[in-house]
Amino acid sequence: MTNEKIMLWTDSERNVGSGSAVGTFTSCLPAMTWYPAAAGQGRGSIIICPGGGYTHKAAHEGEPIALKLNAYGLNAYVLDYRVHPDLHPSPYQDARRALLIARERASQNGSRPDRVGILGFSAGGHLAASAGTMWDQEACRPDAMILCYPVISFGKSGHVGCRINLLGESATKTQIDDLSLENRVDRHTPPTFLWHTADDAAVPVENTLLMAAALAARHVPFACHIYPHGAHGLGLASQYPDISGWPDACVAFLESLGF
């Protein structure tokens, strides 16, 4: 069904209290919306995590991205994940559940269960990278990551606002290091496509460079595109002719992986 909305958690899972294993549900009732491609039978699916600093989800990084992927024959889901005041691990748990559901639903919607990727912008890139580096069972490991001007580190080059919104004001050094995702890359991290602008004034390009260096050190396949100029939060970047080709490069990368 076109644009079907799928709730991630059952009523009983959401109502078991703040001490539950799936956290609190203050900011939203997590869901994902299905965008099947007209030519998507037998193709992969991508879960899209819009950015928004872990306070909201930017609309231009959701449905327009799904429709663009559909035009390439790729199926998509747009994830409505929890944000502040819900803290870690709530957003991660939503992304993890979304990957499991997308894989389970593949047989009924005709997509490939072994080609489920995750794509994120800015803070959504941090969430996507969390899913790709913190997975605890094969079924919730993305088959590819696409990280668009992502927040990666909560260290020197990190984004303080995202860190506070995800971990709270009193995060310990251990928590900060654990959620600085360049520290979590290993040889099982999925193949990754990254892009950023060199003069991004909101999320420093060092975030992408740290991730690329970590992937290279562990021999994980990746592609990294750094564009000289461009503001943060570009989405499809249609107003930037030199950047707007990133979806072409991204899809070529995904197709090389069997998507």
- pLDDT average, residue stretch 95-118: 97
- pLDDT exceeds cutoff 60 at 194: yes
CATH number at residue 183: 3.40.50.1820
Residue 228 lies in a domain: yes
Domain of 146, in residue numbers: 29-256
Instruction: Please name the residues in contact with 62: beta carbons below 8 A apart, sequence gap of 6 or more.
Output: 48, 50, 78
pLDDT tens readout for residues 129-156 = 999 999 999 999 999 999 999 999 998 8
In the chain, which ranges are E strands?
5-7, 31-35, 45-49, 75-80, 116-121, 145-148, 192-197, 222-227
Host H or E run for residue 109: helix 90-109
pLDDT per residue as tens digits for the range 213-250 = 999 999 999 999 999 999 999 999 999 999 999 999 99
Within a domain: residue 53? yes
Residue 154 lies in a domain: yes
Nearest to 91 by CA among 61, 52, 130: 130
Q: Model confidence at 35, in pLDDT bands (50, 70, 90)?
A: very high
Phi first, then psi, for residue 54 (nearest 5°) are: 60, 25
Split into its structural domains, the chain has a count of: 1
- Residue 15, SS3 per DSSP: coil
Per-residue pLDDT tens over the stretch 48-65? 999 999 999 999 999 999
Are residues 21 and 49 in contact, defined by beta-carbon separation less than 8 angstroms? no
pLDDT digits (tens, 9 = 90+) for 150-186: 999 998 888 999 999 999 999 999 999 999 999 999 9
d(CA 51, CA 126): 9
Residues 111-134, mean pLDDT to the nearest whole number = 98
Structural domain includes residue 9: no
**Domain-located, residue 143:** yes
How does the average pLDDT of the chain come out, rounded?
A: 95
Amino acid identity of residue 256, one-letter, is S
Give a yes or no: residue 206 inside a domain. yes
Q: How confident is the model at residue 17 (pLDDT cuts 50, 70, 90)?
A: low
**Residue 44 within any structural domain of the chain:** yes
**Domain assignment present for 16:** no
